[in-house]
């Protein structure tokens, strides 16, 4: 994934700048497209790159086939987590979740469809969102992170319907028991919690 180069950088230094960025790049998240043909990868620079899995994994793949087919700036800070629905790619970073239409991304017309921010305890608090989880039966999205809470968002209306408190430190992962449906969360406080 390439990051935009500052305008004042001489042409001879652009390659060095991009090589340094790749050297210090961290991929925090990934998600496969609904069709299964593309992989989205989110990095510490706030970019999302889309790779063609068939081209990259082909036995005849060349170096060019392994590069992103499209890269776009999604967030100002790192893209900590992503998840795909049947039509959307959802990404989260510092304090907010955004939606992108897969059909538009693949046409290289990456325009943000919407963005939502959970109700945080104070207006000064902008914690990172470390985990996203789809709950298909309820058509909802659960997000969690630095504010130690799980937030449930109704995907149809875009409203946040509840916040679950119990963790005492950052939440890093979420899992779904679909039959129940119950959600499990794990965090830096060393606990795994079950929510009904």
pLDDT in tens, 124-174: 778 999 999 999 999 999 999 999 999 999 999 999 999 999 999 999 999
Average pLDDT over residues 23-31: 91
Could you tell me which residues come within 8 angstroms of residue 126 by beta carbon, excluding any fewer than 6 positions away?
94, 95, 120
Inform me whether the pLDDT recorded for 1 exceeds 70.
Answer: no
**φ, ψ dihedrals at 125, nearest 5°:** -85, 120
> Would you state the pLDDT for residue 171?
96
pLDDT (tens digit per residue) in 86-138: 999 999 999 999 999 999 998 877 899 999 999 887 667 789 999 999 999 99
Q: What is the mean pLDDT of residues 176-187?
A: 90
**DSSP summary character for residue 60:** T
**What helix, strand, coil percent values describe the chain, rounded to 5?**
15, 40, 40
Give the model confidence (pLDDT) of 58-72 as tens digits. Answer: 888 888 888 999 999
User: Residue 57 is inside which H or E element, if any?
Assistant: helix 53-57
Binned at pLDDT 50, 70 and 90, residue 57 comes out as: confident
């Amino acid at each position: 994934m390439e990051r935009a180069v500052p305008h004042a950088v001489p042409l001879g230094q652009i390659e060095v700048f991009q090589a340094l960025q790749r050297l210090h790049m961290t991929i925090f998240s990934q998600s496969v497209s609904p069709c299964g043909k593309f992989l989205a990868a989110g990095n510490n620079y706030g970019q999302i790159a889309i790779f063609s899995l068939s081209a990259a994994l082909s036995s005849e793949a060349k170096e060019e086939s392994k590069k992103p087919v499209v890269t776009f700036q999604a967030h100002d800070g790192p893209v900590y987590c992503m998840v795909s629905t049947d039509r959307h790619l959802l990404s989260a970073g510092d304090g907010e979740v955004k939606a992108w239409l897969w059909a538009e991304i693949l046409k290289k017309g990456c325009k943000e469809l919407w963005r939502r921010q959970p109700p945080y305890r104070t207006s000064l608090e902008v914690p990172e969102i470390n985990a996203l989880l789809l709950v298909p039966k309820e058509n909802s999205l659960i997000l969690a992170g630095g504010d130690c809470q799980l937030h449930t968002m109704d995907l149809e209306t875009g409203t946040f319907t509840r916040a679950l408190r119990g963790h005492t430190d950052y939440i890093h992962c979420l899992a779904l028991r679909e039959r129940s449906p119950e959600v499990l969360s794990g965090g830096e406080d060393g606990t795994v919690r079950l929510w009904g």
